[in-house]
Structure 1
Amino acid sequence: MQTHWQQHKTQLRSYISKRVDDPAAVDDILQEVYIKAHTKLHQLKAQGSLTGWLYRIAYNVIMDHFRAHKPLDELPDDLAAVEADHGQNAHREMALCLRPLIEQLPESYRLPLQLAELEGLSQQRVADRLGLSLSGAKSRIQRGRAKLRERLTACCDVEIGAGGVIGFERKPGTERQCP
């Protein structure tokens, strides 16, 4: 293998350097080609195909190099901040709108929903505080959510993306029935 390698080493270096600009990377890739060829020599079917086989290994190692060292463009610092801020503004605006909508719900749904969603109590604690069974509290919270969703969709256009609410806008002409 050593004698064949010495015969092809110069041509392989030239082949690699035409595709890779960094001289240190060219040497690393050439060394990797040698290691792969040496360890996989048993897979070579015919001695006459050695040259093509070495170039195929070189090509694959070059592709691996480019995959591993893919250049990444950095995003501008202000771009990420604008997107995050946009979502936060939508959440704040929506929160201001949700409280009055929740307050318009019948008391049997409003109280469990406020305790669970706004105060963060577990459903078991909501049941204990309101003197309900756990299934009764769960049912009222679910019904309260459904009624709130109905009111919200009647009053507002909500845009939802991968991160949750990303946009929020009051529907035109709903000022009187929606707080």
Structure 2
Amino acid sequence: MLSEWQNHKAQLRNYVYKRVDDASAVDDILQDVYIKASSNLHQLKSKGSLKGWLYKIAYNTIMDFYRDKLPYDELPEDLVAEDEDAVEESRKEIAECMRPLIDELPDKYSVPLRLAELDGIPQQEIADKLGLSLSGAKSRIQRGRVKFRENLMTCCDFEINDGGMVTGYTPKKTNCSSPKR
């Protein structure tokens, strides 16, 4: 391995040097490539593919180098997890706001959707409870979601950020149901 390494070392150094912005890290990366190649030599299928194999290891090692340099923010020491009860209370509050829009759907969609989304019942249980096949229950839940979304979009305008998260909404002036309190 050492003699083959010597044959390719200069070319690998140039390859790494062209891709790494830190000249002092080139030799460290090259050393990592040699160590990885030496310890994984048994994975090499044929001696003829050694050069390509070394370049692949070098590429992966360069990617690791940059991955390790990714910036990250330290979390504050006083960060506290959200209270489980508050999360559950928020979920229930949202569910109650959604219930009137779900109730507007035909029963064949509203019942399975309510059971799945508001009550958290597994789809197989819903199928058994409603006398449907599993695929039938899944289909009704999916169609209920589509119809629910149509109702929701009819009643509200949503602001969505680049990540696809809803950041705000404005009720439309239509004949939509208002949540029962």
TM-score interval, normalised by the smaller of the two chains: 0.3 to 0.5
Q: So what's the TM-score if we normalise by structure 2?
A: 0.47
When Rg is computed on C-alpha atoms for both structures, the one with the higher figure is: 1
